[in-house]
Each structure stands twice: as structure tokens, then as C-alpha cells.
Structure 1
């Protein structure tokens, strides 16, 4: 399993994913779930993946092949040359649909796995606003709004409470980053199928580049301080609660 979270606020976008893939207690591996695409001065895009690994890797391969071929034939439309972020989501959705149509029946007939997969696409292109989309297995998708400024895929339930309390459209990019890190920390503590290292990406509005694009390893001191400080704050808050028993 995995956990990926993406947030859209007025100042930009924050994306975080783990790297653990669990196909049974004795078959745990690390695979990158976060992928970035960039045209300097024009667009910055991050893709986060969850679900059947063969399906999501197939989608990524389809996108990469089109990008490579477009270098020789500029008429080929890709996520790096299309007109809008909405069109980016459509291209990814079409690739997802093609992978499902090609492999779903055989995968599910095998009985060992589901072909279900989800992808989040977050980014901004020049002339547009920061956008965030959640793409389903069928290739259809929804967009984050002011009422729903974040999406989660994978093991999302443990990390949702902090996002519900903190994330609003006016939340600063710094606070949004802290919130997704706390959200991941809560998930790591409660679910063994989610694991380090983590991939963090931050896109600041109207920069068309990555303000942060880094891997957080298990020995990262800054993440450890956030985890420890959040745990201490929770314990202090609990101790300060009024007693309900005489």
C-alpha cells in the first residue's frame, strides 16, 4: 500500500508520498510514487501514484514515451506542451484508461491483485493557476476546489484529521508543508504498509519551477523534530483537557 497527499492553497501546491509497496508481509519493496515534469519558465508538474504498480508504471511509461517522441515530432501532444493543466489531466486519464482496458481482465482473473489505481496530478503552467486533479482507474477525474483543497490516495484515514483542521485556501505554503508532513507522520505511526523514505515536492505559485523537490530519508533530522514536536504538542493538549469524571 502507500500514502500520497497533495494540497492546493493560494500560494501554490504541496505534494508528499511514501515509497513502500506491500504485496504481503514477506514481500515489501521500495518504489518511487512521485514523478516530476518541468519546462523552465513554462510549467512544473508532479504526479503521485497509488494502487496497482504495473498499471501506474504503464501510465508513466506512456507519458514518457510521448514526451520523447515529441522531441522529433512537435505535433505530438504531451503533458509538457499541451495548452492547460486540465488537458494534462485528460492526457493522464486517457493513459490510465488504456492501461486498464489492456490489462484489467487478465490481472483480476489471476486473483492475486486488483488493477485499481489512482493518480494525482498537481502543477501550474504559464498563464494558468495552480491546479490539482485526482484521476480514477476509469480515467475520469475531479479537481480540487476551495471547499476541497486537498486530495489523498492510499492509506489516507490516519493523516486526514490534521488536514481537515489546518488546510484552507489562505493557508501559507509553509504551514501547508508542515501539515502534510504531520499527516504523513501520523500515517507512518499507525500503518505498517506505509514507509520511509518520503518524496516531497513544493511548487510556489507563478514560479513555474520547484521550490522544493527532495527525498526525506529515515534519518532526516528536520522530519524527526517535526514528529517529536507534534507528539509532544498532542500529549500536552491531552493533559490540558478538562476531566469529565468527578
Structure 2
């Protein structure tokens, strides 16, 4: 399992993914789930992946190979994020046709979900979420973020804090707290956490940071959040039922 979050803001994008993969308690490893396709000054497209690691690695590899071959549409020449997301969805369908039956024969499910985010010159930053079938949706004014993987533990804090006009740094802080909540409740998600901040119209990854468990800032907000919750909880009134 994994946990990835993408947020589309007025100022740009904040993306974060954990790096843990496991095939049982004795087979835990670190693999990046954030993949950047970039032409500085012209476009940046970032994929975050969850699901079967072999399948998602195959999808990303085929997308990079199509750029190297340069004999048709690929992530470095399509003219919109919608077209880029369609290409990624096509690769999900290709992987399903190739691998789903073989996985079924080994009692395994075809599981893939991908967040596609970025900006191509001529349009605003955009954020999409691709499902198992290769179909996808785009963010809306009411829902400016997507999560994939182990989503339920980190969702409440994002719902309460993040809006379109939230600042990039406030969104980073909120997302890291969301990761802390997820990591505390699910051992299949763990640091390091890859974080990328993108400022609108910069057409480059403005900030990429790998946040370790021992990172001083991450440690401080985890401690502050835990202590703050306890303080607020103790200040809330008890029910007067039964009096």
C-alpha cells in the first residue's frame, strides 16, 4: 500500500508521496512513487502511482520509452494536461490487457491508480486522478485535491484545511500532518516522504524535498500537532448526560 496526495491551489501545486512498498512483513523496501517529466520553461508533468509496483513501473517505463522513440504523441509533445492524462490512461489499459489475466491466474488483482499533475505552456496547472480502468477525473472548485492509496486516515485534516486559496506552504504543512496521521494508523505507509511544490507558470519543479523520519521540521509539526490535539481535547466540555 502507499499514500499519495496532490493539491491544486491558486498559487500552484503541492504533491507528496510515501516511498514504502511491501510484499509481506519481511519484504519491505523503498521505491519512489513520484515520477517527473519536465522540459524547463515549457512543461512539467508529474505522476504519482499506487498499486502493484511492477505494473506502475512498467507504465512509467513505457511512457519514458515513448519520449525516447519520439515517433508519436508522448508526454513531451502533447499540448494539454488532458491529452497527457489520456496517454497515461491508455498505458493503464495496455497493462491491464497484458497482465490482468496472468495476475488473476496467480490469485492477484490488477490494482493501479495514478495522479497526474502539472502545467503545459498555454494553460493553467491541472490535476487528474486515473482509475484502474484507465478512465479519469479532474479536480473541481469544491474538491481541489486527490488522494490515492491508503487515503482514509489523512483525509479529515485536508478536508478541514485546504481550499483553492490556501498558500503553498500551508498546504505542505497540512499534507505532512496528513501523512503523520496515516503513518500512525497504518504500517504499510512510511517515510521517507517525497514532496514537490510547483509555482504556477514557473515550468520547473521549484522545490523537491525528501522528508525523512528524523527531519527537524517534520518532527516539530508532528509533536506540535499531537500536543495541540490533546490540549484542545481536554478543553472541550464533557457531556452532561445522566445528571
TM-score by length of 1: 0.95
1:47-196 aligned within 5 A: 47-70=47-70, 75-111=71-107, 113-196=108-191
C-alpha separation in 2, matches of 1:224 and 1:36: 27
Contact 1:121 1:134 in 2 (8 A): yes
3-state DSSP class of the match of 1:82?
coil
Structure 1 unaligned spans of 5+: none
C-alpha separation in 2, matches of 1:37 and 1:230: 34
Contact 1:46 1:201 in 2 (8 A): no
- How far apart are residue 76 of structure 1 and its match? 2.4
Deviates more, 1:170-179 or 1:160-169: 170-179
Q: Deviations over 1:10-66 (max 9, x none)?
A: 111111111111211222221111111111111112110000111111110110101
Structure 2 unaligned spans of 5+: none
- Equivalent position of 1:38 in the other structure: 38
TM-score by length of 2: 0.96
3-state DSSP class of the match of 1:168?
coil
Moved beyond 4 Å, runs of 4+? none
C-alpha RMSD over aligned residues: 1.1
Contact 1:7 1:14 in 2 (8 A): yes
Contact 1:44 1:203 in 2 (8 A): no
- Equivalent position of 1:10 in the other structure: 10
